[in-house]
Amino acid sequence: LEEDLYKVGEKSGIATETLRPCIVNRQHRKVVDYHLEYAKFMGIEGTPVTFIDGEVIAGPVSYAELQKILRRKLELTDAGIW
């Protein structure tokens, strides 16, 4: 697992020497665990994911689809339904 993290870091332009303390000391472990638990709670199983007004939309969303969703939400709000 650690080797995979170093590979991801390298591909992202992060030097192994910079990344090593974070991995070895696990200094960010609590933050990562918190976000993983929150994602599970929200029903997120992967990326990308988009949140619009509390609605979870899994997978890629086109600009046209975002416009459609937002227009629908605004119409419901204007109608006093949402």
pLDDT tens for each residue of the chain, 82 residues long: 788 889 999 999 999 999 888 888 887 889 989 999 998 998 888 889 998 888 888 899 999 999 999 999 899 888 877 6
From residue 82, give the alpha-carbon distance in Å to each of 28, 70, 74, 79. Answer: 39, 12, 8, 8
Contact status, residue 73 vs residue 81, Cβ threshold 8 Å = no
Integer-rounded Cα radius of gyration of the chain: 19
Nearest 5°: phi and psi at 51?
-110, 130
Distance between CA atoms of residues 34 and 25, nearest Å = 17
Distance between CA atoms of residues 27 and 59, nearest Å = 31
pTM score of the predicted model: 0.50
